[in-house]
């Protein structure tokens, strides 16, 4: 295809054809109508010449533009996919829509160079696959870069041994060529434009770019920067916490470790010099207001903001754009459009047409004012439109329970921004409800996050920072006119402005106890073994009260409390900095760490080591290596000790530990998963979902997740089958458990009394749900929630109820408020009997095997199986069902039932589809809901159903392993994944809902593509783990994939 370009050279002569003088080379790039592929001759510092493929626009008649007719040059940098053909097509389309402007195909030269990488062999340049390694396969003089190094201005990698050409050198040579007035006598304006990765290139190039004014003369140069994923920052400060990101200030987000050979003298002069160079340029910023995405592959961009939108507003707040008037050669502009991350839409917008094609077209220094009204933030109108005097306000007004709006704050650090988790209510949460709840508990601050969650506190954590108000944008479910934060962002209301908590420390006293220091625990046995409890709201004072009468108490791992009269040998005092975790109920206090105790002694008595005279009874689950039928099972073995080969593990049903992933594998049982950890060097915790076993090297923050069976190491053991009641075992972390506590009274910390009902649930009345670590935490949550008079605890899920409905015997750990029980007459739910008695022989579906399949009931109703997914509220009735299929049949036979939740033998029938709750239950919903629900129901997957009333079929997989290893999968959203069979990536686990249960690999990839911030996946069985980073590769047999960035 390049031969036609070569033959036409004689028409122009060499003087005006440098852009056509590069040596042509074979390629498979597409032709774009209205343009041609040409080869630019690039010269390096040693005088050696190379070729770079470019797309050049034509005059609308299939001919090259006459250089004397060219008044404008638009040099466009393609995106991360290195698709100059797509960008040329988008630019030509935009120019064709410029019917009201002077720019047209005959007077505007568009050029889109290609910056190929090692992934573009054959497609972008010739390559010999049989040549030796080390770059010998490069058979032409085509310039090729490594990875995304072209964005950063890095030097080329091919041709080998000739690698001193920066991608920015190429841009310099192109601009200098067009600036030659003897060739382009009527050129008035050059625009270097980039969107997404191209915008990152443009912004960095503008920052460190050389001064070309002596070459350009009166020709103006503007840099158009549209929706970059990150920015070059000119100093070492960042708007968000960067303490855990060692590379936050490395090039290309900062100036440390500058890698290109380009203009190093400027960079060596420091950030102030680079900033001055940048501010001497004319920058046209474009922000798409619907673009909240994030394509980060490391932590550096996250210190600038959570997503592209937040980073933009943080950048212009830190480095305000300026303009001295339309004729100012360094005038900046800021334009907004209502669009997503779409280069084509940006080019063709009114602002895109003005900046790319029309500003200063005739050399009269004219320039359109900032586009879009109202403006979005203070200082975002450097060239203001006089007709727009309005700046949008995201600052809510009003006073609720003596609290006013205090801004949008981050909640993504190592500790919660506000220490007390009040509730999660996906149907009713509002500013009114959350502020009232926090005020009733005497807190000064109330924070709403992710729409449904409510947190309280008196100070915000030291890692918390205020961000732009627009970054809290999720509507409150109970009042859509109010804002309830968003993911990792809190809308905070308070009696006064929030203040940062002082760094956490251990109080010198707690009641009658004095601080004794930081001590080891489980070395090899529990240091204090007489009594124990756990609470998400733990403080040292609360533990002191709980342990009243004992000589010692200690807090551990933020939420745990232990008591005793003697400290077991081996658990000696250690470095005070080892106890580093803030207390769950008070971020200013320290409550130990993993296997570290913040220890207190009654009246300051000396710490005495020895064996206790009394023992406690703790459940011991032996290793299946001793008896293959044994092993822990959740929730029945929650808080028990499991002795594997050489190590003891404490089981925590419904708890995942953040980060620390070292490998993953398939395990048939929970016990085998723990055994794998015990035999793996450095493994300290596990997360088990389905048959997927994740091994973790650190014991991170505990995250409630009902889908996970968790365990963490507590010490070495001498045997794998001990059933001793010696103090080497751990006391249960909950003072109440089923069935032993059935019929007893539990008094909550606020004095409320509950009648414990093991195995008994109550139909309907759901007012909220949350993830908890124990039965006791569920009781405390109900006691703290206004209107809660009953509860059901299942695994890690706690259901709060506002009424005491008909009793349902289904194996949950239940309870009712005693004061409410005396006023309530329990009646049998009519919907339970309406469903009839399920046929116990029905079977054929289970989780996770049947996830995202269709089950057709006996009467023809089709249900979508959704493992792990519940719907908040909407309870129609409850009954006991022997199988999942029987529960589905019951819903099908009950008038008004559109969904169900099945746990143990408990079957909950639901009359509406409220907000989804991911809590590990087995769920299903009607595939075609009644018309009255159609406005709130969205079908996400098309399934093929079987005529058999009890059979199901899975969605067809579009990609599989190992067949598709190394290929690229393009999701329905356009996101591209590199398929990596057998490869997982360390860390980066996203918050709940995670993992997702899917039918196949393609569904896992589609789930990631639709989840904001998802960068890689690991599919083990039916569990699809979503990750917000592409960490170090781990070879462990999963189906893996990473976003192509």
Q: 649-672: per-residue pLDDT in tens?
A: 888 887 777 667 777 777 778 888
Q: First vs last Cα of the chain: how many Å apart? A: 29
> From start to end of 451-551, where are the E strands?
453-457, 466-467, 475-476, 479-483, 489-494, 509-510, 513-520, 531-534
Does 275 fall in a domain? yes
Cα dihedral 541/520/777/1025 (nearest 10): 140
Per-residue pLDDT tens digits for 860-903: 888 888 877 777 667 777 777 778 888 898 888 888 888 888 87
Q: Same structural domain for residues 7 and 108?
A: yes
Residue where one domain finishes, among candidates 434, 469, 494: 494
Mean pLDDT of 851-857: 82
Q: How many domains does the chain have?
A: 7
Per-residue pLDDT tens digits for 405-463: 999 999 876 567 888 888 888 888 999 999 998 998 889 999 999 899 999 988 898 77
H helix intervals, 525-650: 540-546
Q: Same structural domain for residues 51 and 156?
A: yes
Rg of the chain over Cα atoms, rounded to whole angstroms, equals: 32
720 pLDDT exceeds 50?
no
Counting Cα atoms < 13 Å in the Cβ hemisphere of 6 gives 9
What pairing do the DSSP bridges indicate for beta strands 996-997 and 1023-1027?
antiparallel
755 pLDDT exceeds 60?
yes
6 pLDDT exceeds 90?
no
Q: What is the dihedral sign for C-alpha 493, 499, 505, 507?
A: negative
Beta bridge partners of 771: 797
Residue 283: name the closest of 320, 252, 254, 313 by CA. 320
Q: What is the dihedral sign for C-alpha 492, 495, 501, 507?
A: negative
Q: Same structural domain for residues 593 and 628?
A: no
Q: Same structural domain for residues 35 and 72?
A: yes
Angle at 214 between CA 211 and CA 216, to 5 degrees: 90
Mean pLDDT of 321-344: 96
User: What pLDDT does residue 920 have?
Assistant: 62
User: What pLDDT does residue 912 have?
Assistant: 79
User: What pLDDT does residue 719 have?
Assistant: 30
User: What pLDDT does residue 832 have?
Assistant: 32
Say if residues 73 and 109 touch (Cβ distance below 8 Å): yes
Q: Which residues contact 65 (CB under 8 A, 6 or more apart)?
A: 57, 58, 59, 106, 107, 109
CA distance 985 to 980: 10
Percent of the residues in the chain that have a pLDDT greater than 70, as a whole number:
83
Q: Same structural domain for residues 80 and 220?
A: yes
User: What pLDDT does residue 696 have?
Assistant: 84
Mean pLDDT of 717-743: 47
Q: Same structural domain for residues 7 and 89?
A: yes
Per-residue pLDDT tens digits for 486-530: 888 999 999 999 988 778 899 999 999 999 999 998 887 889 988
Q: Same structural domain for residues 438 and 488?
A: yes
Does 945 fall in a domain? no
Say if residues 791 and 804 touch (Cβ distance below 8 Å): no
User: What pLDDT does residue 341 have?
Assistant: 94
796 pLDDT exceeds 60?
no
Q: How many CB atoms lie within 10 A of CB 49?
A: 12
Say if residues 605 and 570 touch (Cβ distance below 8 Å): no
CATH code of the domain containing 805: 3.50.4.10
Q: Same structural domain for residues 144 and 287?
A: yes
User: What pLDDT does residue 463 have?
Assistant: 78
Ramachandran angles phi, psi of 44, nearest 5° = -90, 180
Does 615 fall in a domain? no
Structural domain boundaries enclosing 1037: 968-1043
The average confidence (pLDDT) of the chain is 82
CATH code of the domain containing 341: 3.40.50.1820
User: What pLDDT does residue 906 have?
Assistant: 75
111 pLDDT exceeds 90?
yes
| pTM of the predicted structure, to 2 decimals | 0.54
Q: Same structural domain for residues 114 and 263?
A: yes
Does 722 fall in a domain? no
User: What pLDDT does residue 177 have?
Assistant: 95
Q: Same structural domain for residues 211 and 304?
A: yes
4 pLDDT exceeds 70?
no
User: What pLDDT does residue 732 have?
Assistant: 31
Mean pLDDT of 717-732: 30
Residue where one domain finishes, among candidates 664, 698, 715: 715
CA distance 344 to 562: 61
Q: Same structural domain for residues 981 and 916?
A: no
For residue 238, name the pLDDT band (cuts at 50, 70, 90).
very high
Residue where one domain finishes, among candidates 917, 936, 955: 936
Q: What is the dihedral sign for C-alpha 253, 257, 259, 262?
A: positive
Per mean pLDDT, which range of 181-195, 503-517, 545-559, 825-839 is the poorest?
Answer: 825-839
Does 318 fall in a domain? yes
User: What pLDDT does residue 500 have?
Assistant: 85
CA distance 268 to 246: 21
951 pLDDT exceeds 50?
no
Run of H or E including 85? helix 84-96
Does 195 fall in a domain? yes
CA distance 761 to 965: 48
82 phi-psi bin (left φ>0, alpha ψ -120 to 50, beta other): left
User: What pLDDT does residue 705 have?
Assistant: 63
213 pLDDT exceeds 60?
yes
Per-residue pLDDT tens digits for 344-354: 999 999 999 99
CA distance 922 to 853: 13
């Amino acid at each position: 295809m390049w031969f036609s370009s070569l033959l036409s050279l004689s028409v122009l002569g060499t003087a005006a054809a440098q852009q056509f003088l590069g040596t042509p080379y074979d390629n498979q790039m597409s032709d774009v109508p209205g343009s041609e592929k040409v080869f630019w001759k690039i010269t390096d510092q040693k005088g050696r010449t190379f070729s770079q493929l470019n797309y050049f626009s034509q005059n609308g008649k299939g001919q090259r533009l006459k250089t004397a007719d060219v008044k404008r040059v638009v040099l466009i940098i393609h995106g991360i996919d290195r698709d100059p053909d797509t960008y040329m097509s988008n630019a030509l389309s935009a120019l064709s829509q410029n019917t009201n402007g002077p720019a047209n195909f005959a007077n505007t030269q568009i050029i889109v160079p290609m910056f190929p990488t090692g992934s573009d062999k054959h497609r972008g340049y010739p390559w010999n696959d049989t040549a030796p390694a080390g770059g010998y396969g490069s058979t032409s003089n085509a310039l090729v870069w490594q990875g995304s190094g072209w964005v950063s201005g890095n030097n080329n990698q091919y041709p080998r041994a000739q690698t001193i050409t920066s991608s920015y050198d190429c841009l310099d040579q192109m601009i200098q060529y067009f600036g030659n007035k003897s060739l382009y006598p009527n050129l008035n304006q050059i625009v270097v434009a980039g969107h997404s990765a191209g915008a990152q290139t443009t912004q960095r190039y503008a920052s460190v770019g050389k001064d070309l004014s002596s070459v350009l003369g009166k020709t103006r140069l503007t840099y158009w920067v549209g929706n970059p994923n990150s920015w070059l920052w000119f100093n070492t400060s960042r708007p968000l916490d960067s303490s855990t990101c060692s590379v936050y200030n490395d090039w290309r987000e900062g100036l440390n470790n500058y890698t290109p050979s380009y203009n190093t003298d400027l960079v060596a002069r420091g950030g102030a010099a680079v900033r001055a160079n940048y501010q001497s340029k004319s920058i046209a910023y474009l922000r798409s207001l619907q673009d909240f995405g994030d394509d980060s592959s490391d932590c550096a961009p996250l210190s600038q903001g959570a997503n592209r939108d937040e980073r933009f507003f943080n950048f212009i707040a830190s480095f305000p754009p300026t303009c001295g008037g339309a004729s100012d050669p360094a005038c900046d502009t800021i334009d907004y459009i209502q669009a997503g991350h779409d280069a084509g839409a940006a080019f063709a917008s009114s602002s895109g047409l003005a900046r790319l094609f029309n500003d200063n077209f005739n050399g009269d220094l004219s320039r359109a004012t900032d586009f879009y009204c109202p403006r979005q933030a203070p200082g975002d109108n450097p060239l203001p439109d006089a007709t727009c005097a309005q700046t949008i306000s995201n600052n809510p007004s009003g006073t609720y329970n003596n609290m006013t709006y205090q801004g949008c704050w981050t909640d993504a650090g190592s500790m919660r921004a506000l220490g007390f988790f009040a509730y999660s209510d996906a149907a009713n949460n509002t500013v009114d409800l959350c502020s009232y709840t926090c005020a009733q508990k005497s807190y000064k601050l109330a924070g709403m996050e992710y729409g449904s969650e409510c947190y309280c506190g008196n100070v915000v954590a030291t890692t918390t920072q205020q961000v732009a108000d627009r970054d809290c944008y999720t509507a409150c479910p109970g009042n859509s006119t109010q804002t309830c934060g968003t993911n990792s962002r809190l809308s905070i209301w308070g009696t006064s402005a929030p203040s940062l908590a002082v760094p956490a420390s251990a109080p010198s006293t707690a009641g009658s106890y004095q601080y004794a220091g930081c001590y080891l625990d489980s070395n090899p046995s529990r240091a204090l073994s007489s009594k124990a409890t756990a609470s998400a709201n733990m403080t040292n004072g609360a533990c002191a009260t709980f342990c009243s009468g004992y000589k010692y108490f200690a807090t551990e791992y933020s939420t745990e409390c232990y008591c005793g009269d003697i400290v077991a040998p081996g658990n000696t005092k250690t470095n005070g900095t080892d106890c580093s975790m803030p207390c769950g109920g008070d971020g200013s206090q320290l409550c130990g760490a993993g296997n570290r105790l913040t220890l207190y002694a009654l009246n300051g008595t000396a710490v005495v080591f020895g064996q206790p005279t009394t023992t406690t009874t703790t459940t011991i689950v032996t290793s299946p290596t001793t008896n293959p039928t044994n092993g822990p099972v959740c929730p029945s073995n929650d808080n028990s000790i499991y002795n594997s080969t050489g190590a003891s593990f404490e089981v925590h049903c419904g708890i995942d530990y953040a980060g620390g992933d070292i490998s993953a594998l398939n395990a048939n049982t929970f016990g085998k998963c723990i055994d794998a950890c015990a035999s793996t060097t450095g493994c300290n915790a596990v997360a088990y979902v389905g048959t997927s076993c994740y091994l973790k090297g650190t014991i991170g923050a505990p995250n409630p997740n009902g889908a996970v069976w968790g365990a963490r190491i507590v010490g070495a053991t001498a045997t794998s089958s001990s059933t001793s009641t010696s103090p080497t075992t751990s006391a249960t972390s909950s003072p109440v458990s089923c069935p032993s506590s059935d019929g007893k009274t539990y008094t909550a910390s606020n004095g409320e009394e509950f009648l414990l009902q093991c195995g008994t649930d109550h139909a309907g009345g759901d007012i909220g749900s949350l993830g908890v670590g124990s039965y006791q935490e569920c009781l405390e949550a109900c006691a703290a929630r206004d209107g809660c008079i009953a509860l059901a605890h299942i695994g890690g899920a706690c259901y709060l109820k506002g009424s005491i409905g008909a009793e349902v015997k289904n194996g949950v750990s239940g309870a009712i408020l005693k004061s409410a029980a005396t006023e309530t007459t329990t009646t049998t739910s009519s919907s339970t009997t309406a469903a009839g008695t399920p046929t116990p022989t029905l079977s054929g579906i289970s989780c996770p095997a049947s996830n995202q399949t269709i089950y057709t009931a006996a009467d023809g109703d089709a249900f979508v199986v959704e493992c792990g997914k519940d719907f908040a509220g909407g309870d129609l009735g409850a009954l006991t069902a022997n199988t999942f299929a029987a529960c589905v049949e019951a819903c099908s036979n009950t008038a008004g039932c559109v969904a169900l939740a099945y746990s143990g033998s408990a079957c909950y029938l639901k009359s509406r589809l409220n907000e989804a709750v991911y809590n590990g239950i087995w769920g299903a919903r009607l595939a075609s809901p009644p018309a009255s629900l159609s406005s709130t129901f969205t079908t996400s997957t098309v399934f093929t159903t079987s005529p058999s009333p009890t059979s199901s079929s899975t969605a067809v997989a579009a990609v599989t392993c190992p067949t598709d290893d190394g290929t690229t999968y393009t999701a329905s959203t356009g996101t591209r994944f590199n398929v990596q069979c057998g490869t997982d990536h360390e860390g980066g686990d996203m918050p709940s809902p995670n993992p997702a249960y899917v039918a196949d690999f393609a569904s896992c990839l589609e789930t990631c593509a639709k989840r904001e911030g998802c960068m890689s996946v690991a599919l083990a069985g039916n569990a699809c783990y979503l990750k917000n980073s592409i960490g170090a590769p781990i070879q462990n047999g999963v189906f893996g994939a990473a976003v192509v960035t």
